[in-house]
């Protein structure tokens, strides 16, 4: 088991060849570091003394060559060392993560995510840093140290002995300091962990924290840990730098002794000057490896403490006891015999439960809350380790099945299922894909095909949601080419249907018509533009746009309109502006109310408006949607002016030919196939043209190619479009677009019901012989609940065994058998009719419900 | 409260040439609402909020406005056209009253949600102004003392109608059952 491997396992048993090669380089490096010393001696003693120029050049050349080589080797060793460390770190991380994910669920009930996260990320990171050099650094250090020491002893034995003699003294003091440091380090790790736990708790419970204004409470909770870390860090630094200081002190004793004794010897001619220089150099060089060894010692201690702390925490045997076997698919016969389960000696949750489930049989577990229904369901799903007694699946004890078998044969849906960040498709296929990964390629079950996916999506009531997501999505132009290619066809089909059924439902984007259901801004631009200068926020101050509306005599009209809108809004809702409800019929946004009020005040007092005010007024006019903002009226000549402005905009700024679009629109409205016009010269502009894909619009808007006239009709329109698409064979494309919807972290962009339905669909897609549902439909509305109920009853009975924990008793009538639990024991068993007949506990419960 | 004269209504739009004069939908709604008995004695400013939050809807001949048994959400003022009220029992429908422009009906929906006791279908292309209960409640919370008056009017109107029906009942004892179904 990974957690029992000592730290040095990773050093000694991994990447041996690589390490050997590394050591070889290190040995070479040491040679090239000692070689220059010899050269120094020879330069002085031989070359300079004997005045031999040739020798001087030769020795100097060799000196510099050796220095460069030593440097290069050091560089290579450093890089390789870090590489090795990271490689081992990756291995430890992967292994530990696998291990953690297989730990008993019990472990996760008492562990905060923060602990796991900090262990996996920051604590292991320092260990990786250490492991890279775990072998190389001490070996290099000791070898270098020994070599230099030998060299020094070789130069002068007495002097060498004296100057080296100080080091052993240091070895007595350092470990004492380090031990104290380790203790503090351990405390630091524990404190950091507790702090991480608190943080992750506060973050995941942020709603509750906010709701209770708990930011102070949470800060208070964390304060002692922050203070604790602060004081620990202080004490640790005192020790750490204390160690450094001791080290430096001893270091300086060396030269002192050297000068004292060496100098004395040199004066008396017992020692050559060259030798003294070499000696000093050697002494200087000996300092580096020594320092490295000391640092290594500190790092080693730190890494050891961290490693032990991490591994200790997760040193739990994964649930499997090694006796598990994989048997493959089962029929799904479940038997429970005399099952007891308790969380501690005093709290027994289940007492002598016995039951059996034939393959394809449907069993309901009902009872008071706290009666142990969910516990039983979890035990059957092997999500809790089996207590006393036995659970058998197809005659074999449940605990002898390997995890893969359990996952394949038992599908479990809990009351509050987890949804992963990613697309709906990824979530739906989570179970199938995981199994496929475990099975290996050849044995893999076929992944559900499109029609199977569609069936399950429909049966679980997800189809509407997914189609809506699809309709509201922006098309990914690269991935959904089939949609793009057929867009015009879809538009046409939908339009023809609308012409038949609800002529007035949509205001189409007709290039030659003033549009009442879009803003004046959209009316003039009549297209998508990817240029921030023309965005709704900036356009009112854009000189090119301003000159365009001046030329089309729109400036004054728009200013007039903007002022009317502002005045009317202020007058109308001045007394009720604290309620956003009243802003539904005005282009003024609630937070802009005061600003526009100020402007209207200025106008009332006949004050000159500033340029900024005028911009705001123009902005308001451009936001005006005639059919929605009915507080202002629109003069007839206005529509014509807006159209003129539109044509000029398309021509001058969009650099497109409006005539092509007019022709295409006309053919579209007639139901003919237009030819595709040339793309706009301005690459950032796309006109609302029936043959164009509109980038900033959703799929539904793109297919409708217009604006729904009434908000409440969108639902109806969606159904019509879905129906038309189904008729034309585009359903799959729409569903695919919806399946690509990103659900957000923990699925928070989905409603509770949608999350639940996805979880049910995810379980059904596995097609396992046993399905366990723990109040899986409790948070669904009645219609969805009934739909799923009907599906399990009609399609799963006789095929998939079902154990369902159910709260609402009226839906248990379709089950083959009902077990009534109370205080951990089964008190009644029978069909709905039998139990009602019996007039026992179930009958009382059912009556209470009514 | 500052009561504005309708002449100064800024929603009446004069374009810069002063040639054409258009009325906004708001002022048209206003004109339709201000003479309703339920708004008599109510400040202009509040009626304007009703006019502002009212929704116009155009129905084609044969469209159903609401159906017996559906939950009531809004009151209706016919602007133009005609509608018929009828009851539906055992798949048979009994035509009742025909309502036309300026008729205001379903107004108890402003006070409470209930199941429509009868259905309503338009007889010709009809434009109806819808007053939603949600809007009514919003306005009510802003001007409680004034809107209590409106509520009072609504109940009074209802009582008056009931009295009329009682009279009809007394006069036509034979058709008691039929009309009884109306309520």
The pLDDT value given to residue A466 = 93
Q: How far apart are CA B157 and CA B163, in angstroms?
A: 10
Q: How far is A527 from chain B (nearest CA, A)?
A: 28
Among B21, B26, B53, which would you mutate to test the A interface (most chain A Cβ atoms within 10 Å of its Cβ)?
Answer: B26
B15 contacts on A by Cβ (under 8 Å): 557, 560, 635, 637-638
Long-range contacts of A591-597, Cβ-Cβ distance < 8 Å, separation of 24 or more: A592/A616, A593/A569, A596/A566, A596/A569, A596/A570, A596/A620, A597/A570
Report if residue A257 sits inside a domain. yes
Report if residue A737 sits inside a domain. no
The pLDDT value given to residue A804 = 92
Q: Give alpha helix (H) positions in A102-214.
A: 105-110, 113-118, 124-133, 136-155, 157-164, 166-204, 206-211
Q: Is B88 on the interface with A (CB under 8 A)?
A: no
Q: Is the CB of B24 less than 8 angstroms away from the CB of A630?
A: yes
Q: Is the CB of B142 less than 8 angstroms away from the CB of A581?
A: no
Q: Is A636 on the interface with B (CB under 8 A)?
A: yes
Q: Is the CB of B15 less than 8 angstroms away from the CB of A557?
A: yes
Q: Is residue A771 domain-shared with residue A624, that is, in the same domain?
A: no
Report if residue A477 sits inside a domain. no
Q: Taking CA atoms, what residue in B is nearest to A636?
A: B20
In this complex, the residue of B16, B22, B29 whose CB is nearest that of residue A560 is B16
Q: CB of B139 within 8 A of CB of A581?
A: no
Q: Is residue A309 domain-shared with residue A403, that is, in the same domain?
A: no
Q: How far apart are CA A804 and CA A792, in angstroms?
A: 11
B12 contacts on A by Cβ (under 8 Å): 633
Report if residue A280 sits inside a domain. yes
Report if residue A781 sits inside a domain. yes
Q: Please name the residue that has the structure tokens 């009872």.
A: A367
Q: Is B171 on the interface with A (CB under 8 A)?
A: no
Report if residue A466 sits inside a domain. no
The pLDDT value given to residue A625 = 92
The pLDDT value given to residue A679 = 66
Q: Is the CB of B139 less than 8 angstroms away from the CB of A636?
A: no
Q: Is residue A821 domain-shared with residue A679, that is, in the same domain?
A: no
Q: Is the CB of A635 less than 8 angstroms away from the CB of B24?
A: no
In this complex, the residue of A556, A568, A575 whose CB is nearest that of residue B11 is A568
Q: Is residue A374 domain-shared with residue A448, that is, in the same domain?
A: yes
Q: Is B15 on the interface with A (CB under 8 A)?
A: yes
A630 contacts on B by Cβ (under 8 Å): 24-26, 29, 52
Interface of A with B in 551-590 (CB under 8 A): 556-557, 560, 564, 567-568, 571-573, 575-576, 579, 581-582, 584-585
Last residue of a domain, one of A677, A694, A729: A729
Q: Is the ipTM of this complex over 0.95?
A: no
Please provide residue B48's backbone torsions phi and psi, each rounded to the nearest 5 degrees. Answer: -65, -35
**Of A693, A105, A758, A666, nearest to A456 (Cα)?**
A758
Q: Is residue A752 domain-shared with residue A683, that is, in the same domain?
A: no
CATH number for the domain harbouring residue A162: 1.20.1560.10
Bridge-based pairing of strands A410-413 and A770-774 is parallel
Q: Is A74 on the interface with B (CB under 8 A)?
A: no
Q: Considering its fold, how many domains does chain A have in total?
A: 3
The pLDDT value given to residue B8 = 39
What's the token pair of residue A13?
A: 């048993």
| CB-defined contacts A:B, below 8 A | 70
B135 contacts on A by Cβ (under 8 Å): 581
* Torsion angle, alpha carbons of A215, A220, A225, A230, to 10: 100
The pLDDT value given to residue A210 = 86
Kind and range of the H or E run holding B127: strand B126-132
Per-residue pLDDT tens digits for A634-688: 876 888 999 999 999 998 888 888 888 888 888 888 877 766 666 667 788 888 8
Please provide residue B121's backbone torsions phi and psi, each rounded to the nearest 5 degrees. Answer: -130, 145
* Domains of chain B from N-terminus onward: 6-180 (2.60.120.10)
CATH number for the domain harbouring residue A827: 3.40.50.300
Per-residue pLDDT tens digits for A460-492: 989 989 999 999 888 777 767 777 778 888 888
Domain that holds residue A526: 487-729
B58 contacts on A by Cβ (under 8 Å): 504
Last residue of a domain, one of A278, A313, A348: A313
What's the token pair of residue A849?
A: 């419900």
Report if residue A738 sits inside a domain. no
Report if residue A815 sits inside a domain. yes
Distance of CA A578 to the CA centre of its chain: 39
Q: Is residue A709 domain-shared with residue A648, that is, in the same domain?
A: yes
Provide CB contacts within 8 A for A18, sequence distance 6+.
A80, A84
Q: Is residue A623 domain-shared with residue A749, that is, in the same domain?
A: no
Q: How far is B11 from chain A (nearest CA, A)?
A: 5
A587 contacts on B by Cβ (under 8 Å): none
What's the per-residue H, E or C state across A614-674? HHHHHHHHHHCCCCCCCCCCCCHHHHHHHHHHHHHHHHHHCCCCHHHHHHHHHHHHHCCCC
Interface of A with B in 449-508 (CB under 8 A): 504
Q: Is residue A181 domain-shared with residue A294, that is, in the same domain?
A: yes
The pLDDT value given to residue A108 = 85
What's the token pair of residue A568?
A: 């009317």
Per-residue pLDDT tens digits for A152-204: 888 778 778 877 777 777 788 888 888 898 899 889 988 988 888 888 888 88
Average pLDDT, chain A: 85
Residue ranges, chain A, pLDDT below 50: 442
Q: Is residue A393 domain-shared with residue A517, that is, in the same domain?
A: no
Provide CB contacts within 8 A for B2, sequence distance 6+.
B45
Q: Is residue A453 domain-shared with residue A499, that is, in the same domain?
A: no
The pLDDT value given to residue B126 = 92
Q: Is B23 on the interface with A (CB under 8 A)?
A: yes
Q: Is B24 on the interface with A (CB under 8 A)?
A: yes
Looking at residue A221, what DSSP letter applies? Answer: H
Residue B19 has pLDDT above 80, yes or no: no
Q: Is residue A725 domain-shared with residue A749, that is, in the same domain?
A: no
Q: How far apart are CA A723 and CA A746, in angstroms?
A: 32
Distance of CA A107 to the CA centre of its chain: 23
Q: Quick one: average pLDDT of B136-163?
A: 85
Q: Is residue A644 domain-shared with residue A718, that is, in the same domain?
A: yes
| Confidence grade of residue B94 (pLDDT, cut at 50, 70, 90) | confident
């Amino acid at each position: 088991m990974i957690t029992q491997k000592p730290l040095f396992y990773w050093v000694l048993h991994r990447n041996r060849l690589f390490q050997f090669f590394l050591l070889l380089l290190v040995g070479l490096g040491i040679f090239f570091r000692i070689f220059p010393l010899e050269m120094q001696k020879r330069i002085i003693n031989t070359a300079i003394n004997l005045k031999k120029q040739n020798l001087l050049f030769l020795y100097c050349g060799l000196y510099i060559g050796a220095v460069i080589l030593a440097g290069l080797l050091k560089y290579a060793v450093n890089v390789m060392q870090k590489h090795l460390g990271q490689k081992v770190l990756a291995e430890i991380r992967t292994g530990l993560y696998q291990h953690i994910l297989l730990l008993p669920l019990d472990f996760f009930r008492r562990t905060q995510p923060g602990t796991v996260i900090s262990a996996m990320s920051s604590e292991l990171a320092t260990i990786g840093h250490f492991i890279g050099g775990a072998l190389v650094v001490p070996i290099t250090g000791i070898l270098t140290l020994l070599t230099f020491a030998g060299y020094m002893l070789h130069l002068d034995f007495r002097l060498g002995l004296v100057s080296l003699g100080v080091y052993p003294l240091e070895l007595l003091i350092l470990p004492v300091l380090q031990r104290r440091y380790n203790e503090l380090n351990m405390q630091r790790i524990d404190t950091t962990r507790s702090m991480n736990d608190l943080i992750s708790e506060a973050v995941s419970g942020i709603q509750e924290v906010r709701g209770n204004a708990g930011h102070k409470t949470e800060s208070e909770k964390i304060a002692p840990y922050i203070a604790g870390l602060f004081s620990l860090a202080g004490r640790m630094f005192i020790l750490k730098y204390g160690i450094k200081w001791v080290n430096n002190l001893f270091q300086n004793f060396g030269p002192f002794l050297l000068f004292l004794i060496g100098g004395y010897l040199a004066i008396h001619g017992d020692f050559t000057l060259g030798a003294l220089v070499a000696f000093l150099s050697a002494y200087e060089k000996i300092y580096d490896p020594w320092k490295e060894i000391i640092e290594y010692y500190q790092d080693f201690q730190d890494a050891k403490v961290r490693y032990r702390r991490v591994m200790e925490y997760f040193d739990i045997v994964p649930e499997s006891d090694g006796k598990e076997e994989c048997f493959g698919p089962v029929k799904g016969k479940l038997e429970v015999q005399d099952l007891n389960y308790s969380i501690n000696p005093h709290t027994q949750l289940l007492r002598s439960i016995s039951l059996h489930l034939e393959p394809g049989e449907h069993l309901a577990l009902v009872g008071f809350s706290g009666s142990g229904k969910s516990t039983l369901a979890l035990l059957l799903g092997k999500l809790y380790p089996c207590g006393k007694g036995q659970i058998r699946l197809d005659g074999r004890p449940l605990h002898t099945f390997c995890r893969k078998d359990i996952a394949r044969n038992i599908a479990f849906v809990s009351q509050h299922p987890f949804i992963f960040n990613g697309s709906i498709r990824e979530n739906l296929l989570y179970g199938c894909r995981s199994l496929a990964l475990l099975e290996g390629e050849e044995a893999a079950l076929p992944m559900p095909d499109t029609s199977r996916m569609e069936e399950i999506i429909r049966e679980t009531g997800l189809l509407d949601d997914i189609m809506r997501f699809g309709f509201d999505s922006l098309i990914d132009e690269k991935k959904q080419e089939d949609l793009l290619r057929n867009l015009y066809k879809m538009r046409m089909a939908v339009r023809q249907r609308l012409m038949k059924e609800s002529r007035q439902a949509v205001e189409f984007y007709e290039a030659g018509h003033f549009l009442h259901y879009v803003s004046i801004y959209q009316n003039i631009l009549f297209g998508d533009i990817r240029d921030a200068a023309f965005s709704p926020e900036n356009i009112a101050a854009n000189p090119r746009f301003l000159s365009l509306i001046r030329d089309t005599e729109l400036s004054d009209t728009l200013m007039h309109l903007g002022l009317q809108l502002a005045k009317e809004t202020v007058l109308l809702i001045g007394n009720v502006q604290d309620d956003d409800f009243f802003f539904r019929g005005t282009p003024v946004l609630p937070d802009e109310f005061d600003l526009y009020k100020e402007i209207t005040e200025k106008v009332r007092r006949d004050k000159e408006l500033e340029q900024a005010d005028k911009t705001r007024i123009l902005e308001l006019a451009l936001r005006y949607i005639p059919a929605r903002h009915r507080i202002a009226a629109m003069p007839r000549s206005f529509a014509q002016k807006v159209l003129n402005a539109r044509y000029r905009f398309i021509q001058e700024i969009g650099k497109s030919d409006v005539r092509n679009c007019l022709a295409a629109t006309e053919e579209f409205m007639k139901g003919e196939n237009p030819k595709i016009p040339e793309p706009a010269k301005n690459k950032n502009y796309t006109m609302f043209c029936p043959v164009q894909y509109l980038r900033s619009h959703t799929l539904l808007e793109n297919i409708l190619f217009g604006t729904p006239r009434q908000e409440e009709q969108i639902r109806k329109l969606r159904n019509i479009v879905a129906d038309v698409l189904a008729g034309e064979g585009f359903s799959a494309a729409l569903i695919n677009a919806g399946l690509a919807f990103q659900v957000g972290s923990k699925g928070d962009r989905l409603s509770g019901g949608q999350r639940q339905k996805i979880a049910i669909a995810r379980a059904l897609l596995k097609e396992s012989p046993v399905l366990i549902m723990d109040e899986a439909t409790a948070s669904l509305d009645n219609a969805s609940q009934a739909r799923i109920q009907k599906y399990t009853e009609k399609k799963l009975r006789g095929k998939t065994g079902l154990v369902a924990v159910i709260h609402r008793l009226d839906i248990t009538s379709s089950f083959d058998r009902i077990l009534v639990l109370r205080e951990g024991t089964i008190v009644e068993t029978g069909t709905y009719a039998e139990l009602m007949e019996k007039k026992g506990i179930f009958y009382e419960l059912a009556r209470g419900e009514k | 409260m500052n009561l504005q004269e309708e002449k100064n209504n800024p929603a009446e739009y004069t374009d810069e040439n002063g040639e054409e004069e258009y009325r906004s939908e708001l002022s048209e709604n206003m004109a339709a609402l201000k003479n309703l008995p339920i708004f008599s004695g109510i400040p202009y400013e509040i009626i304007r909020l009703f006019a502002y939050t009212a929704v116009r809807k155009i129905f084609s001949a044969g469209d159903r406005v609401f159906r017996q048994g559906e939950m009531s959400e809004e009151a209706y003022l016919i602007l133009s056209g005609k509608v018929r009220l009828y009851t539906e029992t055992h798949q048979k429908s009994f035509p009742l009253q025909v309502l036309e422009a300026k008729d205001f009906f379903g107004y108890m929906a402003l006070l409470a949600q209930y199941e429509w006791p009868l259905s309503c279908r338009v007889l010709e292309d009809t434009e109806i102004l819808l007053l939603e209960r949600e809007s009514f409640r919003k306005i009510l919370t802003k001007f409680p003392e004034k809107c209590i008056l409106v509520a009072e009017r609504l109940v009074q109107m209802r009582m008056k109608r009931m009295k009329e029906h009682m009279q009809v009942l007394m006069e036509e004892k034979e058709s008691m059952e039929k009309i009884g179904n109306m309520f």
